[in-house]
Amino acid sequence: MLNNIKSLFLLGCLGLLAGACNKPAPIHLAQEGTIYMPQAYSINGSLTLLLSDSAQGVTFGAAYGGLEYAPKNIDVSFIVDTADIAAYNAANGTSYLPLPSSAYTVSSLLDTIKQGQTSSDPLSLSITTASLDFTAQYILPIKLVSASSGTINSSLQTTYFTINQLVNVYAGSYTTNGTRYNYNADGSSAGTDTITDTRVLTTMAFDSCSINTIANLGVYAGTVFYVQVNSDNTLEFSGYLSGVIGSPIANQPGKTSTYDPATKIWNVHYMYTNTTGTYRYMDEVWTPQ
């Protein structure tokens, strides 16, 4: 009986030793302890911004790579690296313009990955797009250039913040319902027409759009139709009908057109005059689709 107990004890010890020999080595990633910009991954730097006179915020910072935490405070610094834009365009077949310095501010280019953390507090990039050319594409490279500890990952060292398209807050498609009031040259009524259409507004500036259809005429040959939104959300209409400057489009007298930024609904009152002296008043509501 004693021999059997000793045998079991020896087998147990051998099992423990075997388990100890087979214990996996601690996991250590190749990028452990490297310092990088998370925004430099893939398309993280591609910005979706509106053409607006209000500042729009973007964040960036540094991170500590691998599965561990920063063993101590790591101070990092960045630069705006516009010198790298030509090389980026050549490598990617693009033609980005440098984002003008007047269009952005950076909260700071210095940051810290604190001990026990994996990333720094976010720094802010504030961009105002109102003065930009909405038909152009822009780029702003921000580069991580120093770290007080660890090695900078050169493949994730620069974030190329890109702006591929700018549209204003008004651009889009709107279901349109309303009434056209027809008048003879002497001011007498010539009846009414029901308006049911879709208006597509296209960006012209941060506060202005062109409009593809008018009244109940649809896409009317040669017609140019514009709307500008004032700071108080009242509207100014302009343009002319059928390519004829002598047939102007204007605000309807005695009525105020408005845009509601909360609902994005337009209540509009405009008019056009024909070369014969007859004229038309339009009362419409544009509702976002």
Query: Which CATH number goes with the domain that contains 271?
Result: 2.40.128.420
Residues 152 and 38 in one domain: yes
Q: The CATH number of the domain where 39 resides is what?
A: 2.60.40.1740
Which range marks the domain in which residue 61 is found? 34-167
* Other C-beta atoms lying within 10 Å of the C-beta of residue 49: 18
Where does the pLDDT of residue 21 fall: very low under 50, low under 70, confident under 90, or very high at 90 and above? very low
Cα(136)–Cα(101) distance, integer angstroms: 16
Where does the pLDDT of residue 30 fall: very low under 50, low under 70, confident under 90, or very high at 90 and above? low
Tokens matching residue 189: 């009524």
Cα(278)–Cα(270) distance, integer angstroms: 15
Cα(52)–Cα(69) distance, integer angstroms: 40
Q: What are the pLDDT digits (tens) for 225-260?
A: 999 999 999 999 999 999 999 999 999 999 999 999
Of 132, 167, 202, the last residue of a domain is 167
Q: What are the pLDDT digits (tens) for 63-100?
A: 999 989 999 999 999 999 999 999 999 999 999 999 99
Of 146, 167, 188, the last residue of a domain is 167
Which residues does 192 contact at the CB level (< 8 Å), separation at least 6?
Answer: 179, 180, 181, 182
Task: Count how many domains the chain has.
Answer: 2
Query: Is it the case that residue 58 has pLDDT exceeding 80?
Result: yes
Of 271, 272, 268, nearest to 244 by C-alpha is 272
Query: Is it the case that residue 27 has pLDDT exceeding 90?
Result: no
Of 115, 144, 167, the last residue of a domain is 167
Q: What are the pLDDT digits (tens) for 142-163?
A: 999 999 999 999 999 999 999 9
Residues 151 and 240 in one domain: no
Phi, psi (deg, nearest 5) at residue 283:
-115, 120
3-state secondary structure the chain: CHHHHHHHHHHHHHHHHHHHHCCCCCCCCCCCCEEECHHHCCCCCEEEEECCCCCEEEEECCEECCCCCCCCCEEEEEEECHHHHHHHHHHHCCCCEECCHHHEEECCCEEEECCCCCECCCEEEEECCCCCCCCCCEEEEEEEEEECCCEECHHHCEEEEEEEEEECCCCEEEEEEEEEEEECCCCCEEEEEEEEEEEEEEEEECCEEEECCECCCECCCCCEEEEEECCCCEEEEEEECCCCCCCEEEECCCCCCEEECCCCEEEEEEEEECCCCCEEEEEEEEEEC
| pTM for this predicted structure | 0.79
Cα(138)–Cα(145) distance, integer angstroms: 22
What integer pLDDT is reported at residue 43 of this predicted model?
86
